[in-house]
Chains A and B, each alone.
Chain A
Amino acid sequence: MELSFGWNDVFLVSPAIVLFLFSLLPVFLKVINGNKADSLFTSYGVSLIGLFVAAGFSVAVVFRQILEGGSQLAFSDALVMDGLSSFASLMVIVISIFALLLSRDSLALKGELFSEFCFLLLNAAVGMMVVAWSNDLILTFIGIEMMSLCLYIMIAMSHEPIFSKESAFKYFVLGSFASAILLYGMAFLYGATGSTYLPDISEMAAEMVLTHRIFIIGILFTLVGFVFKVAIVPFHAWTPDVYQGSPTSITAFMATGVKVVVFIALIRFMLTDFVLTPDSIISQVLQWLAVITMVVGNFVAIKQDNLKRMLAYSSISHSGYILVGLIAASLPGSQVEGVSAVLFYSLSYAVMTIGSFAVVALFEKQHDTQVNINDLKGLATSNPYVAFSLTAILISLAGIPPTIGFFGKFFVFSSAIKQGLYWITIWGVISSVVSVYYYLRPVVYMYMKEADFGQQSMLRDDAQSTKFTVFFASLFVIIAGLLSQLFYDLIGHSVMTLF
């Protein structure tokens, strides 16, 4: 294979290059400054500028795609730049911006070593982009490792002594385990097809899945590796502990960023046509996984009193909903609807999750970062705006109209119904009714219970950018719900470049 690349390739991946270069700046400035404790503002500002520049380049890439028409390949076809990639780049950038905003106020990070933190955050974002762009399983793996390694360190950087170390270690051990399984599966696929390049696999998949046993094992192991990363039951056990122990800003970052890009990688993997009918064994396995995930995630969340743990289980159940869309996306006949539904749901999920974790961050205290549902008591009286925002976000998470969460579920379920997958749809809607119980519990505490004596000053009032994030998310879930056509259209355009 001849390795050659031109300026076009460089331009297509420019968002990642920009992010990488800007990630070096905070550390560089610190060294120039004589390795003194860096000013929070410099690192923060430089990283933010870097993210906005990268966003600009992503938009430029989108325009180029529109002009040239459809998808483009870069670096010997290893990276594919289509609508899906652009969607992913923009999502990753926006998620990183909000993660940065939240990190700035984070008590667990205390603003120390912030230049190193920014370096890791931006590089995690680069890794996420590579995962979403890659057209080759090996490159997917490299991207996953790149983002995961950055995340392990970011979690461990927390100054909170007990939970964060446990969390980082657990994430590291189980994450490596999952990576090993993923790699193992890829090795089987390579053994069966002689290639790790997705279009190559795609050519053979439809035939081999019927005849070649090694190929099926490879597919299943690879899927297990992927679903480990997005916390599908029964591969979810790490999620509650890791989400609870990590600094809240990083929880928000990984609960959204990692999930969105891994699901996009899964879309690319599933579109290689190895799933032929809803009755095939692989599809059956995925359907069961989706149902179990929705049910377990929602039922276990009922018993959680720690807000972050509750949101962790809720995020597990949302993975289940996205998986429903993904199953539809993998079947011939509903691919466009399925992929659009997955992307739309990812968008709504990302906004709701960032917003809800931002609210949690508002309640954290210097000495105690654990936030319980009791801390919410009487919030409606002491801080009506935050209470309203959290309500809007929770209602959206529960999928009650007219929020964006409702339309997310609507698109996912209608793509599944198009394939006649009634049974997962019915499990899905019933488990979403169950979820109403725990999503409304915080509302009960905020509006229907009075604060204990002296509890009034619980809310942090110094965290301006966190508050901004909360209000942005709550307005977005309502307004985007009413304007869901706009977002669905944008997503629809990017999906059309795939087919």
Chain B
Amino acid sequence: MLLSLITFLPVVFALVILAVPEEKYVRPTAFVLGVGQFLLSLLVFKDYDPTTAALQLVEKTEWVRSAGINYFMGIDGISLWLVMLSTFLVPLIILGSWTAIDKKVKGFHVCLFLLQTTMIGTFLAMDAILFYVFFEASLIPMYYMVGIWGGARRIYASMKFFIYTMLGSVLMLVSIITLMGMTKQLTGQMSASLLDFYNLDIPFVAGTMFSTQSLLFFAFCIAFAIKVPLFPFHTWLPDAHVEAPTPGSVILAGVMLKMGTYGFVRMALPIFPEATEYWAWLFFSLGVIGIIYGALVAMVQPDIKKLVAYSSVSHMGYIILGIFAMNVQGISGGIYQMLNHGISTGALFFLVGMIYEKTHTRKIEDYGGLAPAAPLFTILFIIVTMSSIAVPMTNGFVGEFLILTGTFMANKAFAYVAVLGVILAAAYMLWMVKRVFFGAPGKVVNEFAEKNKSLDISKREFAVMAPLIVLIFWMGLFPNHFLSWSEVSINHLVKNKTSYQLQVLNSDQKSAVTAQTKSK
């Protein structure tokens, strides 16, 4: 019940928000509900057993029996942290958008909670069609979020986002239906369960794209690559990020992009092992191109938000690299970097939004000399920047180090090029920091000094940033506190990459396992 509760409680919250009589109570109610939801999701740790790779807290009921579609939810080490990230970011977003969202406040929070349901559902669904349902449904609230509360070109950006993402996912649907037909040939019973997909032995011919496995694999990969986004499918991302309101950008970068990388780990790798191995070079190349290209484009952006958006493209390239390295270091790094990116890029978008709210400009040239005018803001920004460029002691370092180690073990050439990206990241971020925070006071700073207004962040804004900063250091200094929860699942995935199977842990086995560990 716990997983369903976590998934669908936000829908109830959305209804509660609709019923709130006065607009001024909407934000506090939403915040309390969001925090409650996060605390509730922490209960998962109580029941979660990190010593087994099996699927836990499973819920399974028939949904569309004749097509073998089940309501099938479960959690393991791969999805655990992403669920936590989704529940963790939402209360921060509510707090962070306290003043940024000034119209249709009710509608915004309804959208946010509905989005939360679809995100958590995507990470927990263990049935391909259920996954697809959440994956697609998440587009609708995001579409509204960009389209209603976004900037000047919001309608163009939201439409592009929707259609681009959907184009990828319908091909995945065709592929899913084909796999469902294959399960029927194998077991006599049509099934959309991922566990049955893992058992399939799909014919693969090396050297051609037109073997069954490769075609199905690419249908999945295009859907995920658009979502990630992987070069050359990234063009929707800068548009969506620049036009989205701050909370929209945070949730888009923080969680929604992870649906793509999660899809790679959950589906593409274990269902199509031969194709993954054979085509890994392609994804390595695209990942590396994405890293370098994203960094170079970020370097020349005049707009801070766009810079962060392109840095996202670059960072997501690392995650792809780690995943396709197909070794323990790579995949752990990939999963760790998903969290890091959610936290540090989310924090960057928050910070950019905070300063934009006061100055109404995101042009780098308008700033300069911000450091003396806004000292606290500067400190926070620089800490987050350090995390983003992977300085040791921050979370980014752990993730990128693991990924690069993994890549090095899998393919040295790509690792050499990818390391360049680390340098480039330092270049574009630090150059931006220099131009915005140091040097002679710019237009904005002078303006505010004349009016004698403060540019620094408020207590509320500090409260938004504090948990993120804590996590940056916590994850940087004690990575094992986090990695140990998913270690077994990742080892299991890597060890059995050609014959991946996932068991379901039911309650009797669970007590047996705990008894064993206790006796040891």
Contacts and interface: CB of A to CB of B under 8 A. Distances in A.
Given A401-B133, A430-B170, A489-B66, A410 B139 contact: no
Contact of B162 (A402, A440, A448): A440
Interface string A477-498: 0000000110011001000000
A23 B303 CA distance: 70
A417 B167 contact: no
Contacts of B140: 395, 400
A272 interface: no
A430 B174 CA distance: 11
Nearest to A411: B67
Interface string A260-296: 0000000000000000000000000000000000000
A488 B66 contact: yes
Q: What is the size category of the interface that chain B forms with chain A?
A: 20 to 34
A359 B446 CA distance: 55
Given A413-B177, A417-B181, A485-B64, A448 B167 contact: no
Nearest to A384: B107
B65 interface: yes
A406 interface: yes
Contacts of B12: none
A433 B148 contact: no
B136 A448 contact: no
Contacts of A57: none
B155 interface: yes
A486 B366 CA distance: 61
A94 interface: no
A414 interface: yes
Contacts of A430: 167, 170
A436 B133 CA distance: 16
A437 B158 CA distance: 11
B177 A414 contact: yes
A405 to B, nearest CB: 12
Contacts of A440: 143, 159, 162
Given A444-B159, A448-B154, A413 B167 contact: no
B474 to A, nearest CB: 37
A426 interface: yes
A426 B166 contact: no
A406 B144 contact: no
Nearest to A445: B155
Given A400-B136, A417-B178, A418-B181, A432 B170 contact: yes
Interface in B107-162: 129, 132-133, 136-137, 139-140, 143-144, 147-148, 154-155, 158-159, 162
B166 A433 contact: yes
A152 interface: no
B67 A414 contact: yes
Interface string A400-435: 111000110011011001100010011001101100
B180 interface: yes
B147 A436 contact: no
Nearest to B215: A422
B159 A400 contact: no
Interface string A439-461: 01000100110000000000000
**Majority secondary structure of chain B interface residues (helix, strand, loop or mixed):** helix
A479 B65 CA distance: 17
A284 B67 CA distance: 27
Contact of A400 (B139, B177, B181): B139
Given A436-B163, A444-B147, A485 B63 contact: yes
A429 B133 contact: no
B167 A433 contact: yes
B144 A447 contact: yes
A7 B212 CA distance: 58
A488 B174 contact: no
B395 to A, nearest CB: 35
Contact of A401 (B136, B178, B180): B136
A492 B66 CA distance: 9
Contacts of A418: 181
B196 to A, nearest CB: 16
Contacts of A401: 132-133, 136-137
B162 A485 contact: no
B173 interface: yes
Given A433-B163, A447-B147, A410 B136 contact: no
A484 B155 CA distance: 33
Contacts of A395: 140
Q: What is the size category of the interface that chain A forms with chain B?
A: 20 to 34
> Which of B129, B147, B162, B170 has the most chain A CB atoms closer than 10 A to its own CB?
B170
Interface string B311-347: 0000000000000000000000000000000000000
A444 B170 contact: no
B102 interface: no
A468 B144 CA distance: 26
Given A433-B166, A433-B170, A414 B180 contact: yes
Contacts of B139: 400
Contacts of A488: 64, 66-67
Nearest to A401: B133
Nearest to A414: B177
A488 B67 CA distance: 10
B102 to A, nearest CB: 15
Interface string A361-381: 000000000000000000000
Contacts of B16: none
A12 to B, nearest CB: 29
Contacts of A400: 136-137, 139-140, 166
A406 to B, nearest CB: 7
A72 to B, nearest CB: 26
A263 to B, nearest CB: 21
A440 B147 CA distance: 11
B173 A429 contact: yes
Contacts of B180: 414
Given A395-B140, A430-B170, A447-B148, A437 B159 contact: yes
B62 interface: yes
Interface in A66-123: none
B137 A429 contact: no
Contacts of B383: none
Given A410-B67, A414-B180, A447-B144, A429 B171 contact: yes
Contacts of A410: 67, 129, 173, 177
A413 B154 CA distance: 33
B166 A448 contact: no
Contacts of B154: 448
B67 A402 contact: no
B133 A406 contact: yes
Contacts of A425: 174, 177
Contacts of A444: 147, 155, 159
A215 B66 CA distance: 37
A437 B170 CA distance: 15
B147 A484 contact: no
A294 B449 CA distance: 62
A447 B146 CA distance: 11
Interface string B412-429: 000000000000000000
Contacts of A406: 133, 136
A223 B147 CA distance: 45
> Which of A395, A411, A414, A484 has the most chain B CB atoms closer than 10 A to its own CB?
A414
Interface in A387-409: 395, 400-402, 406-407
Contact of B174 (A402, A413, A489): A413
Contacts of A426: 171, 174
Interface in A247-264: none
Contacts of A413: 173-174, 177
Given A411-B67, A414-B181, A417-B177, 6 more contacts: A401-B136, A402-B133, A410-B177, A426-B171, A429-B170, A433-B166
17 contacts: A401-B137, A410-B67, A410-B173, A410-B177, A413-B177, A414-B180, A417-B177, A417-B181, A426-B171, A432-B170, A433-B163, A437-B159, A444-B159, A448-B148, A485-B63, A485-B64, A492-B66
Q: Which 5 A-B residue pairings sit nearest by Cβ, starting from the closest?
A: A429-B170, A401-B133, A414-B177, A485-B64, A448-B147
